[in-house]
Amino acid sequence: MPAGKIDRVIIIVLDSAGAGAMPDARLFGDDGADTIGHVLEAHPDITLPNMAALGLGNALSLLKPRPIKPVASPLASFGLMLEASPGKDTTTGHWELMGLLLQKPFKVFHDGFPAEIVNRFVAETGREVLGNKPASGTAIIEELGPEQKKTGKWILYTSADSVFQIAAHEDVIPLSELYDACEKARRMLDPYFVSRVIARPFIGKPGSYKRTYNRRDFSIMPESDTVMDILVKSGIEVIGIGKIHDIFAGRGVSRSIHTEGNADGIAKTIEEIAKPSGGKVTFIFTNLVDFDMLWGHRRDTAGYANGLKQFDDSLPEIKRTMRDGDLLIITADHGCDPALKSHTDHTREYVPLLVYSRLMESLNLGISTTFADVGATVADIYNVKGTGKGRTFI
């Protein structure tokens, strides 16, 4: 692969598009998980011809046969990746993609948060809380939304991930107050090693509540530099599209672009790819959140399948818009199998890897032992030192 001729990398993370249960999945309660496989099995009418042509079927078949078949001459290099860090959440996955591996898992609160945390949060924000338990976000809003509107209290909940989630009706508590409360919680929770504080605003009436794209994630600060930090220090513009800025607590992001769903994220990614360089060296990093937020956690296989088709349909335009010196990496950060019946949380899975450029031949990259191979490849292409984790595909 001619590294010297490739001068820009575009990474698109299909948030939660896992490729099959990892060997240790049973330790996480995820034995048998297979996000993409189960989605396509449930909806055989959905085909993904463009990702198949790149080699998605070739990648998935490295583990076992799936509904999407290998092709004889894939257009992209293909593989699967194992997660080396102890976790299965968005922050852990994205950090590892950028060369930062966790040595210990983030703290999870299976029975809700202790009084010392809740009491301090109430004191600092001036509002009481409802809930304080693990729950599905849509379910707890339906359960407690009427009381939240009546009392003005926060709806506080968590999950099997390390998250402190605060829901509030936008007509009851202004977004500015919700975000301020999240910032206070973020500072308060750092010593507890909680991964993310998430603002979960919603609108509507009982029976038809709807979470909005005014969601914001307040992540714990990365423990050390990621490849993104190194790129920025080297004068390279890092463009974060979607919740990339939030996942990395703003570190290593030169410019952040807010999105409202996958379609918007795809459109804004294409817009950034198409922009003239103006002499700048850039790196584009996109997260498409709807796979996880709208369909994975809600166990909506039909929505997930149609979301995959929507992305697949966009690939011809993405490829047409790319310059000759562009490298496109399509991958994921964890699984969230909507066909799994045991829970509604993330799933510990391999992730797919497709690496496409007009300048490269197709290679079987096999099964990588860490997501950090992506970060090592990015560092190699931009000729920066990297974090020392992972191995480059070059």
Three-state DSSP state, 347: strand
User: To the nearest whole percent, how much of the chain has pLDDT over 70?
Assistant: 99
Whether 101 and 244 share a structural domain: yes
Number of Cβ atoms within 10 Å of the Cβ of 309: 18
Q: pLDDT tens digits for 62-98? A: 999 999 999 999 999 999 999 999 999 999 999 999 9
Whether 201 and 133 share a structural domain: yes
Whether 169 and 240 share a structural domain: no
With a cut of 80, say whether residue 177 has pLDDT above it.
yes
b/e per residue, 41-77, with b = 16+ CB within 10 A?
A: eebeebebebbbbbbbbbbbbbbeebbbebbeebbbb
Q: Residue 189 — pLDDT band, cuts 50, 70, 90?
A: very high
At residue 158, φ and ψ (nearest 5 deg) are -140, -165
**Residue 168 and residue 154: Cα distance in Å, rounded?**
6
Report if residue 59 sits inside a domain: yes
The whole-angstrom distance between residue 339's C-alpha and the CA centroid of its chain comes to: 19
With a cut of 50, say whether residue 1 has pLDDT above it.
no
Contacts of 138 (CB under 8 A, 6+ apart): 209, 211, 298
Whether 90 and 236 share a structural domain: yes
Report if residue 389 sits inside a domain: no
Last residue of a domain, one of 204, 219, 234: 219
Report if residue 391 sits inside a domain: no
Sign (positive/negative) of CA torsion 355, 13, 240, 389? Answer: negative
Report if residue 66 sits inside a domain: yes
Whether 330 and 240 share a structural domain: yes
- Tell me which residue range forms the domain holding 268: 3-105+221-381
**Residue 246 and residue 171: Cα distance in Å, rounded?**
24
Whether 360 and 230 share a structural domain: yes
Last residue of a domain, one of 189, 219, 249: 219
Whether 204 and 239 share a structural domain: no
Amino acid at 49: P
pTM value is 0.93
Number of Cβ atoms within 10 Å of the Cβ of 23: 9
Which CATH number does the domain housing residue 335 bear? 3.40.720.10
**Higher pLDDT, residue 332 or 110:** 332
Whether 182 and 263 share a structural domain: no
Which CATH number does the domain housing residue 143 bear? 3.30.70.1250
Whether 265 and 353 share a structural domain: yes
Domain count, the chain: 2
Last residue of a domain, one of 168, 188, 219: 219
At residue 229, φ and ψ (nearest 5 deg) are -60, -45
Whether 144 and 290 share a structural domain: no
Tokens of 356: 């496409």
Report if residue 325 sits inside a domain: yes
8 A C-beta contact, residue 364 and residue 77:
yes
Report if residue 393 sits inside a domain: no
Whether 154 and 301 share a structural domain: no
User: To the nearest whole percent, how much of the chain has pLDDT over 90?
Assistant: 94
Sign (positive/negative) of CA torsion 87, 106, 253, 370? Answer: negative
Query: Residue 2 has what pLDDT?
Result: 43
Report if residue 110 sits inside a domain: no
Report if residue 193 sits inside a domain: yes
Whether 352 and 261 share a structural domain: yes
